[in-house]
Structure 1
Amino acid sequence: MATLFLGLNANAARMDMVDVSNNNGYMSTAEYVSMRNEFGVKALTVKISEGSTYKDPYAASNITNGQTAGLYVNGYHFARYATKAQAIAEADFAGKTAKTAGLPVGAVLATDVESQEANNQSQATNDRNNSAFMQEIQKFGYRADIYTSGSWANNKMTINDKTGWIAAYPYVVSGKNWYSTNHAWQWSSTAKFRISYGGFDVSQLNSNYYTAGQKSTVKPTNKGAVKANNRKANKNIYKPATSAKWVKESKTYTLKTAVKLRTGASTSSNAITILPAGTTVKTDRAIIQGGYRWVRQPRFNGHGYLATGPASNTLEYVKSGASHTYYTVKYGDSWWEIAQRNGLSMTTLASQNGKTIYSTIYPGQRLVVR
């Protein structure tokens, strides 16, 4: 199936793999067949478990229906461990749950590391815990890997070349194949499929690890639809550069992390200084360009510029001086996606809104994100 994608726009990310969980509800074989035939999906990664007690109620049906549709099926476990002993215990729980759900031997059973528990640990501790989980999971006959966000990779934990499934959602196409030395790159959490409801996480496979090097015996039946739907999906993620304009913005921000103050609104501009976390910044202008949202800081000898986060207008590196910042839920949003955009764990986001990660959220609902 690798040759299927050679005719696509080189700047377009492929929809090679979809991951699903209870958040997607029941997924039928027909839905997976449509993903395969019309969108080129060839692998499925199913949520199996979380922590040491939660079993995804849709794992078994997703595995069965995905296999029936001719997709290569893998699994993932949402990690809550903070110690080596907990990592081993969660791996035993995940392995047993995966066996019961019917995940075939030889499939990948990845550890999804993005929780507040992991955020509170050092990189060395996370590396030790992840290694313990992956070694233990192999005892069940599964292959191991780590899923995490791009901002956590080689920051909160080590992700070596030829390993890893990395989530990073771009805004402006760069022409490069993101995370090309890792197994997979999750490039969207809002992909739409023709006969499936809601938004889905989709990934491009940069190796054959998640298909175990096997060529599917069931190929897409509509190559034209695959190309068209791939371009359509990318259109909503990769937006062409436009002539951006500065707008007035008199605000005060407090940096959550250290940020480079630059001579211009571009990552290629020289750094004036590095502003440490906790610095208060007053701005007078804002602009969205080059894949980032930039603000301008008046200085005694001109201006300085800093990126507040991705061009989706999310304030990733700073927080406003207001008592609360709210986010209005949009169609297809999930707890995970909103949390990622706002630098939170799902648990923190849900709890500060008086809910759990299993609570249903609705379009139009306002959530506190700061």
Structure 2
Amino acid sequence: MRLKAKLIAVWVAFLAAFSFASVTTVSAAKGDTGVDWSVYQGANGKFGYSGDKFVIAQIGGTYNGAFINQSTYKTQVASAIAAGKRAHTYIWYQVGGSTSVAKTALDHFLPMVQTPKGSIVALDYEAGASSSKQANTNAILYGLRRVKAAGYTPMLYGYKSYLVSHTDLATIAKDYQLWLAEYPDYNVTTAPNYGYFPSFDNVGIFQFTSTYRAGGLDGNVDLTGITDNGYGKATTNDKGKVTVKPKTSTPATKAGATANKATKTSITRGTKVKVNLSARAWANGVAIPRWVRGRTYTVQQTSGNRVLLAGILSWISKRDVVVAVKATSTATANSRGTYTVRYGDSWWSIAYKYGMSMYTLASRNGKTIYSMIHPSDVLLIR
């Protein structure tokens, strides 16, 4: 009788598990991994691994009172949403100990935030501190209060040693969660090493590496579930597609949501697509290089269930790509096929934006990739 009861219990558990797997499930943020992006990750970002759940994109920052807007911010937010990730924001906050500079910076950047209300807006304080700990602390607390008053989730980012040396971090941590960075080396690291955890009160996110993938990419882990803020629970259907639902809408989140819902049949010439991190082979069976996965390309041609990627001229199955978001940053090509160089641009970042080789871009302009380019230079891209 006991054996029969056990067999029935096992069978019921199996049926329950099977039924659960076939319907939509939800995911929570605590323990989730994610990446953070700046202009160096390009218009559509550089993705880490398929299990990542969030992205924190740089909107720009203040450098001792000078403002730099990141031209990649809006499209990175949209790209993250399109890929089913929760998108958040950070500001380079080099305000020293000046509350006046802090006020001007937040007056400038807070109205530009594209991630939803409730999402993280982190202040990145890792350079330019004044000699006064109290003044630095006051400028940071002022900024965090402004972020909260604007309807977002405030966080302070930095390296523990720097923050402890230049601020009263314990006072800040009483009211606000910290996003702290600490890593032992620059080897590729795909999971957090808690032997190097920057122990402190109220740590919400741990940035455990700057080389999450070869070539450089910051890797983070959410310790408290804070990256859920601003979003409903992500849903995963029985085909593994993840959808996130921002609680409030912006142009960038709308664009991302539209791309997230796009079907394979909508892919045509000119569509921007991201190569899946799980993709292994081109349509002809040749292995896809690792550096291609997670990047975004323009479709040059379609043929049945295959698409030809511009820039690298390789055919790939539609099942190995997803619709991304077209780059529509403030630094774009005009109708004559030219591009005006902006602050922070490089041969690589411009070429990446338009799905072409940086060698082709340089050659088209009678230069090499070692030639200097400067803001306001006009480059031919077509």
TM-score, with structure 1 as normaliser: 0.49
Query: Which gives a bigger RCO, structure 1 or 2 (Cα 8 Å, sep 6+)?
Result: 2
Q: Who wins on radius of gyration, i.e. which is larger?
A: 2
Which one has a larger percent helix, Structure 1 or Structure 2? 2
TM-score, with structure 2 as normaliser: 0.48
